[in-house]
């Protein structure tokens, strides 16, 4: 699952190629009259929202791309911001694509780079066409990702961003602030607190494991900490796998 560093990389890539371009069309195959889950309402997974979304974004110029927690924010010239959350399996590709009407699918142009033809990149569910005749496409094998829109000057009020904690990569994020944030949940389980987006933005399962001791998915391996002979164990904390050393860590006991 993409976490803060991966989303940061995606945003940097998009900043290089999207700024100044106009969105000329939007396509999706995930919109439904009645979305399968309640929280899909107000996103591209709802047909009525998709229609509204298209009207709002087509013809607008992309002015800025940034990250807030694990959300990609694409600001437009008309005070609208597209929000994309990659969730479990989402990723974004920029390139030249061709629409195959009969199959209702998008495929890379034959002249495109080899990587775009990788099977991993074929689950294209949202496509933004741009004024330079290229596209940026949202691939999402498991379709958990989110694409929505809000008014740029109301970013503090939108439910998609409301209450998110401070950004750990900002210079203003100091050790003091880190301590203050953690102290908001004094009785909380440390892994769960680190992953709480209202405490600190952007930390997920992998990096919370790394922060607690770098042993993500090393179950049954001998602890590599000097003079520790513990074994790495896996424990489910709040429905997520946590990895820890049986000897030098007591965090989960």
Number of residues that bind Zn ion (CB under 5 A): 7
Share of the chain residues as helix, strand and coil, in percent rounded to the nearest 5:
25, 30, 45
* Residue number, 111 or 227, with CB nearest to Zn ion: 227
Residue 192 beta carbon to Zn ion: minimum distance, rounded to whole angstroms:
22
Q: Spell out where 180-229 has E strands.
A: none
Q: How far is the CB of 214 from Zn ion (least distance, A)?
A: 11
CB of 231 to Zn ion, least distance (A): 8
Pick from 22, 130, 164, 228: which binds Zn ion (CB under 5 A)? 228
Rule CB under 5 A: say whether 55 interacts with Zn ion.
no
Residue 36: other Cβ atoms inside 10 A: 9
Contacts with Zn ion, 171-210, as mask; x by CB under 5 A: ----------------------------------------
Mark 101-136 as b/e (b = at least 16 C-beta within 10 Å): eeeeebebeeebeeebeeeebebbbbbbbbeeebbb
Among residues 39 and 248, whose Cβ is nearest to Zn ion?
Answer: 248
Q: Is 245 in the site for Zn ion (CB under 5 A)?
A: yes
* Shortest spacing between CB 225 and Zn ion, in angstroms: 4
Separation of alpha carbons 213 and 233, rounded Å: 12
CB of 223 to Zn ion, least distance (A): 3
Are the C-beta atoms of 20 and 62 separated by less than 8 Å?
yes
Q: CB 15: neighbour CB atoms within 10 A?
A: 13
Which residue of 230, 237, 251, 252 would you call a contact of Zn ion, by CB under 5 A?
A: 230
DSSP code of 166? -
> Per CB under 5 A, which of residues 208..227 are in contact with Zn ion?
223, 225
Largest CA distance in the chain: 63
107 counts as binding Zn ion under rule CB under 5 A: no
65-73, 94-102, 188-196, 240-248 -> range binding Zn ion (CB under 5 A): 240-248
Segment interacting with Zn ion (CB under 5 A) among 19-27, 40-48, 59-67, 243-251: 243-251
Cα gap 246→234, rounded to integer Å: 9
Angle 83-152-29 (CA atoms, 0-180°, nearest 5)? 30
- Per CB under 5 A, residues contacting Zn ion are 223, 225, 228, 230, 245, 247-248
């Amino acid at each position: 699952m993409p976490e803060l560093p991966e989303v940061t990389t995606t945003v940097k890539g998009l900043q290089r190629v999207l700024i100044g371009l106009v969105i000329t069309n939007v396509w999706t195959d995930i919109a439904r009259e009645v979305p399968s889950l309640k929280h899909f309402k107000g996103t591209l997974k709802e047909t009525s929202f998709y229609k509204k979304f298209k009207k709002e974004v087509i013809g607008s110029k992309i002015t800025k791309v940034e990250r807030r927690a694990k959300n990609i924010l694409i600001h437009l010239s008309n005070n609208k911001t597209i929000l994309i959350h990659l969730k479990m399996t989402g990723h974004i590709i920029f390139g030249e694509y061709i629409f195959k009407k009969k199959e209702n699918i998008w495929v890379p142009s034959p002249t495109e780079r080899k990587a775009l033809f990788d099977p991993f990149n074929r689950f294209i569910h949202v496509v933004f066409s741009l004024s330079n005749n290229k596209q940026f496409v949202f691939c999402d094998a498991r379709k958990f990702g989110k694409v929505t829109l809000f008014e740029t000057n109301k970013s503090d009020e939108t439910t998609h961003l409301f209450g998110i904690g401070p950004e750990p990569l900002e210079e203003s994020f100091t050790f003091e602030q880190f301590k203050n944030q953690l102290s908001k949940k004094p009785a909380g389980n440390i892994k769960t607190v680190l992953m709480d987006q209202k405490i600190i933005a952007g930390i997920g399962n992998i990096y919370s494991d790394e922060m607690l001791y770098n042993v993500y998915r090393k179950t049954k391996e001998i602890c590599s900490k000097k003079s520790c002979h513990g074994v790495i164990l896996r424990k489910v904390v709040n429905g997520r796998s946590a990895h820890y050393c049986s000897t030098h860590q007591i965090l989960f006991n």
